[in-house]
Chains A and B, each alone.
Chain A
Amino acid sequence: MTTATSDTARLPLSVIMPVGKRHAANIAALYAEYKVGLASLDVPYEFIVVLDGPRPEVAAALQRLLERGESLIVISLTKRFGEATALMAGFQRASGRVIVTAPAYHQIQGAELGKLVRALDKADVAIGRRWPRVGSRFEVIRRDAFHRLIATGGQRFNDLGCGARAMKRRVLEEISLYGDQHRFLPVLANRQGFRIVEVDVAQSPLDRYDGGYPPKEYLHRVLDIFTVFFLVRFTKKPLRFFGMVGATTFVIGALLVAYLAIDRLVFLHPLADRPALLLSSLLVVLGMQLFALGLLGELIIFTHARDIKDYQVDEVVRYPEAVTGNRAAAPVGTEVTRSHVV
């Protein structure tokens, strides 16, 4: 539980910049850009840089900034853990009531960062959308397909790749991210019932790709979609997923077996030279295996059910001093306690 007192003791704003493999050549220039954007908010803030794995040249640049007297917090991870893990590492150090994540390369114009924080008036998470945006025709189609797939059964987002986001502290406290899931933060937050807005931000002129990504990257995106689909829909009910797929496979296999059996027993066609027998028994076996996997998943959920909660309580309201009887308002001087459960 967080109480109101610890909340007011916090800084208004923490900025986290996870630095991964792809980062700006001139970190100092990027930092200066962000500083301009944050200055427009006119609130005290802290700037946390998380180095995801050893990045000697970035570390050196940050060292120079620190020597110049810039107030930075630099966290270095000993090996590369992935952007989401780096983000969470930064969050553990962050003390702000609002958390802003900033991409480590010129993705948006740094001056636009303030816009995201201001958008939190009406939402819990504000995510940047690079607009207007440059990119090849292929990239546009690919991006559209990606977001369309992700949108099944939830809010539609337009630029999950944009690393500039602002969110209230509670959001990161309730969501656990790891590996490369940072992209799906809005999807997972939406799943937890947080309100999310997209804010148009100006794309940096330096945010260009030269000839797209390597093919491996596309494969990763496809697997990511599968991951998020599974995480969002079936984490708590593995049997719903494995059971469906498994049962379908099993039934197809069983029907085939039945057909072969009838063919053998009634029409006396020899079974021995039919490869269909192999196929059908494979299907039966595969179906059973998938089902067993689902059951194993259920076993895991059940035995760890105390740690896994299916829901998030927004607020528990109790008025212990209220006077019985149908008086609409509590009398003067009565303290109203509202506890936030996190």
Chain B
Amino acid sequence: MTPEVSIVVPLYNEEDSLRPLYAAITHAVAPLGISFEIIFVDDGSRDATVRIADEIARSDPRVCLVKFRRNYGQTPAMAAGIAQASGDVIVTMDGDLQNDPTDIGALLRKIDEGYDIVVGWRFDRQDKLVSRKIPSRIANKLIAKVTGVPIKDNGCSLKAYRASLIKKIPLYSEMHRFIPAMASIAGPKIAEIKVQHHARQFGQSKYGLSRIYKVLLDLMVIKTVASFTARPMLWFGMLSVPMLLAATVAFATTIVTLVSDGTYSLPIAGCGVIFLSSAIILLGSGAIGELVYKLGDMREHEFSGLTQQIRVRSLIIQ
């Protein structure tokens, strides 16, 4: 009896929020008339979170607790929860009561309509303006621009996915923010709906401004892997084009001065050699990239199989 929906909640030092959260989830989901399981992932909490989660699991067979030995971060916690989940639909949410479980019903209805990923949008966000909301708004604009996935709020943890899709998407580093962008490799149908957002009741926010540089680099990684993995040669080839151009200019200058004046400038000729060799090395890297991709286990054809729809017109035979 596998449940229809798995709700994955990463927890990190949430001893105060845990019981209210559990009550809110069961209260919100039970009336929907679907079978569900709750997967708590303890991300190496140092307070009573594990004990409380264990007690909840003891009293409710629908609750599963995944324990980490130390703190790994939000993305690994989500990845572990998703790996453990057995439902057809996976809902992820924060463990700090800022997301409202009553929105789960709306997310699931969207999935029923045929969307592969449904993303929550905290349209009325209850956080500090300068340190949280403004950087987040800029980041979201940037992410939408770069990845081409127009989502207004990537940072919102409340999301629903088709399990068959999300289980195939590699999650590592700090990519939970980019799951929709990452999943866009497979070309899913993505919907975004407004969800409620509450101010923090317990504890401190665990993230600060320091993650901006990480977000930028991760974004670069996603852009690379999402759009160029299948064609590393092409991409590295593009990188080498400016190098080749610079080399051509330098060599042309050298030849022109050599012919007209009978002399040439060593630095300019040297630059030509440097740029040319760099272009060649980049092309070589592209070739290695092709090799890596060919030998790897993530291929485009696999992703294309995740969300495709097949319609076959059945012939009527009398």
Contacts and interface: CB of A to CB of B under 8 A. Distances in A.
Contact of B61 (A278, A288, A316, A321): A321
Interface string B233-249: 00010010001001000
A285 B278 CA distance: 6
A285 B275 contact: yes
A42 interface: no
Contacts of A292: 236, 239, 282, 285
B255 interface: no
Contacts of A303: 229, 292-293, 295-298
A299 B61 contact: no
Interface stretch (B111-119, B132-140, B149-157, B216-224): B216-224
Interface residues of B, number: 59
A302 interface: yes
Interface in A253-283: 271-275, 277-278, 281-282
A9 interface: no
A306 B172 CA distance: 10
B187 interface: no
B172 to A, nearest CB: 5
Interface residues of A, number: 57
Contacts of A306: 170, 297-298
Given A306-B298, A316-B65, A324 B220 contact: no
Contacts of B221: 237, 239, 295, 298
Interface in B65-110: 65-70, 72, 75-77, 79-80, 84
B148 interface: no
Contacts of A322: 57-61
B271 A278 contact: yes
Given A272-B265, A317-B65, A320-B61, A281 B274 contact: yes
Interface string B198-218: 000000000000000010010
A289 interface: yes
A158 to B, nearest CB: 22
A303 B293 CA distance: 6
19 contacts: A192-B70, A237-B173, A239-B217, A271-B268, A273-B267, A281-B275, A282-B274, A289-B282, A296-B232, A296-B289, A298-B225, A299-B293, A300-B296, A303-B297, A311-B80, A317-B67, A318-B57, A319-B57, A328-B59
Interface of A: 192-194, 236-237, 239-240, 243, 271-275, 277-278, 281-282, 285, 288-289, 292-293, 295-296, 298-330
